[in-house]
Structure formats: structure tokens, C-alpha cells
Chains A and B, each alone.
Chain A
Amino acid sequence: MRTFNIVLLSIWVGVIIFASHTIGQQAYDWLPIAAAAEAEPVGHLFSFLVTLGTIVFLGVMGVLVYSVLFYRARDTSDAPAIRGNLKLEITWTVIPILLVTWIAIYSYNIYQRMNTLGALPLAHLHFVEAPAYAEVGNNNMQRAEQIEVIAKQWSWSFHYPSRNITSTELHLPVNQPVRLMLQSEDVVHGFYVPNFRIKQDIIPNQTIEFKFTPSRIGQYQLHDSQFSGTYFALMEASVYVDAPERYSQWLAETATRPPVPAANPAKSEHIQPPAMPLRSNWHTVPPAQPPLINK
């Protein structure tokens, strides 16, 4: 009987591990397609988290469901008065400590590899200087394309100082590190491209340096990730990761165009509010002047 139980238990553990592994592999597909070098390790981390999480979930749920199915009361008598088991309690304290330590170390390693620099500017506040670790691709630094990202209610604009052009589209060269100088002119915004799997809040009146490497050609969406007021949902922009030649071509073409005020969905909606069944007519902050862009 005892060996039978052990065999059953092993099979169950095997099933859990297999299922967790499978689901963990599946998890890659739950994230948007990776389009930056920094996104790759996040996928691995997520898969790892899902695998571990599924093991814990299925393990505990297994016990719960088993109990629900097989320990139904047949009368109103009490069950055996088992008050605890020190060894068991120590086990389920120590194992989680080990697990979360493992997760923390793994996460830390990945964070180090990403090194998006986002947190640096707090040095303004004289906080302890941040990253003590070696910067990946330090030698690439010179080549890093530098772009100013200006967020305001409710528009994004991107200024390329090297060519002195401004656009409401963010064009990035593929496989080249880029350095974004994130700035906000009014409230806190957030820079978030799901396909890059990174984000950074933009604190007004600070320039936050944000570095990553786009790795997949295509068109993606930039969202404001920090609630910024009435037209928050409209604060989006297209991000193009281009092949190097296309990128230079775009820069060159755009530079020839004269600056004009950009179209702005928030502004149009503010001027002409759509009719809604439930209207509040509450005061709202008017959208800031749309940026002047080369178009």
C-alpha cells in the first residue's frame, strides 16, 4: 500500500512537472513579439516564473481538490486533532525562501543584462549613484543614436538633434543601441512599447536617459503608461524599427520638409467632443499645443 502511494505520488509529481514545463514554454506566446534585445531575457524570465508558478499552483490545488473530492464528511463527528507538524512547517518556510531567493537572483541577473539605464537621473537628487555593474556594449555607446522624446498632454514628439528634425513618429534603426532622452512638459507620463517589454516613467522637469536596442524590423505602438489626465487613452505614437538604409533615408527625407503643427487626436476630440449617452460636461485640461513637426 505504501509503495503504491509513493508510486502514485511520483506520477503526480511527474505530471505536475511536465505540465508546468509545457505551460512555461507556452508562456513565450503570451507576450507580444519581442522587438528589442532587452525583450528577449524578459521572455525567458517570464517563462521561468510561469513554470515555477504552475508547479506551486498545481501542487497546492492538487491537495485542495483531492481533499474536496475524497475527504467529504459522512457524519458530524470531528476529524483527528492534528495540530501541526514542525518538520512540515519548517519545510514550507524554507522551500519558499529558497525559491524566492532563486527568483530574485535570476531576476537580478536579467535586470543587469537589460541595463536600460532608466533610473539614472535620480543622481540629480544626490542619491547614491546607481549602476555599479559593467555596461553591456559599452563600446557601442558612441554609435548610440540619441533622440529626445517629449511628452505632453497629450502628444508624443521625437526630436533628432543630429538632423534637427522633429516627428510624431519614432523611427529607430534596427540592431543599433538607441538612447532616448525622456522629457515631460507637464505631468508624469510613461514610455511603454509592449514589444520592447520595457517602460519608464517620465518625470516632468527631468531628463531621463533610457537605452535599449531594437532588434526586429516592424511597426509598433508606443503607449503612455502613466495616467496623464482626460485624453490619456489617445496618447499613442507609432514606432518604426527600420533597416539602417531606410532609417537614413527617412531622416534625410524628413529633414527636407518644413515644420508644421502636427495633427492631434486629443485636440480634435477636445474641440469636437463625440456625443455620448452619458455626458458629464466636467471641466477638463485643454490639450497642449501640438508639436511642430517636419512633415
Chain B
Amino acid sequence: MESPTRSGSMLKRDNLTFGFPVFLLSESIIFVSFFATYALLRWKNSNWFPAGVSGLDIHGAAISTLILVCSSIVIYFAERSLDRHKLVRFRRLWLLTAALGVIFLIRQAIEWHNMPFGLDAGLAGATFYLLTGFHGLHIFTGVVLLLYMYFRSLTPGNYNLGHRGVSSVSLFWHFVDVIWIVLFVLLYVW
């Protein structure tokens, strides 16, 4: 069927389903440019870390990775609950996702706090703070969007016209998750 109207709210949501992934693809190029710069610089410099530092806290980061991957699974189930009109279950899982995001951010803050070097400690510092910071900003945005969507879900009849907003936020969450995995491999595992 052709979309029923050529204007009005219905169609705008259609556009969101198309436009938002397009935006995310574009956004990912910023990360690509950071990752590429990081990789080239790291490849070029054998003495990467400042004196006295042997590497990053890979165990902590692994736990954070696990948390994010879990949250991606949780949000998937949240969305599925909404598909099946189980609104309460949706809200719970949705909030759980946000909570996992917050935990991730707190862990990130602690890691920053305990970091043996700062932003100006050579490239190890610069790339570390830039990449985790920029990614953290995305997680933060994600949490805000999650909470926003949560409060919207309290409006009765909010999903009568479908839930493209929820799907977009969920897509965003998967996106920052994938970015984190790349970041984890490049920054911590390498």
C-alpha cells in the first residue's frame, strides 16, 4: 500500500525509520576517522604509553563490555515486548537497559578518575580520553533518550500509531554498543 498520506504525523515516522539509520551511518564516520587516526598513530609509535604505565585496565573494560552487550540483549527483548503489546514488561526491560547504561557510565567515570595519566600525557592519553569520552557522550545521549522514551510510554495510547521512536532509540543503543566493541578491541586488547 502507498503510505496513506503525503504529509502529517504518520509519514514523519516512516521517515524516521529511514532517516535515522542514515544519520547513524554518517555518525559512524566520525568514529571511523578517530579509529583510523588512532590506529595509524599507534602503529607508528612503539612507545605508546607514558613511562611507568604498561597498559589499560583490560579486565574492567571487559566487564563494561559485557554490561553493554547485555544491555543490547535486554533492549532487544524490551522492543519485542512492545511488539507483543506487553507494555509493563517493556517498561521494565527498557528501564533496565537505561540502568545498565548508567552503570557503564559510572564505571567509565571511575576508570577516568583512577587513570594514571591525563589527556596531555602523550598520544595514549589523548586517544584514550577522546575515544572513550566521545563514546561516553553517546552512551549518555542514549540514556537520556531511553528515559525520554520511558516517560513518553506512560502516555496512554502512545503506541497506537506504532513505535518508531522506540525502534530508533533501540537502534541507537545497538549502534553505540557496536562502536564500543570496536573501541574495546582497538584500545584495550591491542
Contacts and interface: CB of A to CB of B under 8 A. Distances in A.
**Complex contact flag A–B (Cβ < 8 Å):** yes
Interface string A104-144: 00000000000000000000111000000000000000000
B151 interface: no
B37 to A, nearest CB: 13
Main secondary structure of the interface of A (DSSP, over half): helix
B23 interface: no
A125 B40 CA distance: 9
A124 B43 CA distance: 11
B6 interface: no
B44 interface: yes
Contacts of A126: 43-44
Interface in A227-250: none
A15 B130 CA distance: 62
Nearest to B40: A125
B160 to A, nearest CB: 49
A126 B44 CA distance: 7
Contacts of A125: 40, 43-44
Contacts of A124: 44
Interface string B27-42: 0000000000000100
Nearest to A124: B44
Interface in A2-53: none
B41 to A, nearest CB: 10
Nearest to B44: A125
A125 B39 CA distance: 12
A40 to B, nearest CB: 37
Nearest to B43: A126
A17 B52 CA distance: 72
Contacts of B44: 124-126
Interface in B28-79: 40, 43-44
Interface string B82-122: 00000000000000000000000000000000000000000
Interface string B8-30: 00000000000000000000000
Contacts of B40: 125
A125 B46 CA distance: 11
Interface in A135-187: none
A124 B46 CA distance: 12
Nearest to A125: B44
A126 B43 CA distance: 8
A149 to B, nearest CB: 24
A130 to B, nearest CB: 17
A124 B44 CA distance: 8
Contacts of B43: 125-126
A197 B43 CA distance: 35
A122 to B, nearest CB: 10
A75 to B, nearest CB: 39
B186 to A, nearest CB: 18
B42 to A, nearest CB: 12
B50 to A, nearest CB: 19
Nearest to A126: B43
A125 B45 CA distance: 9
B40 to A, nearest CB: 8
A126 B39 CA distance: 13
Interface string A241-280: 0000000000000000000000000000000000000000
6 contacts: A124-B44, A125-B40, A125-B43, A125-B44, A126-B43, A126-B44
Identify the 6 closest CB pairs spanning chains A and B, nearest first. A125-B44, A126-B43, A126-B44, A125-B40, A125-B43, A124-B44
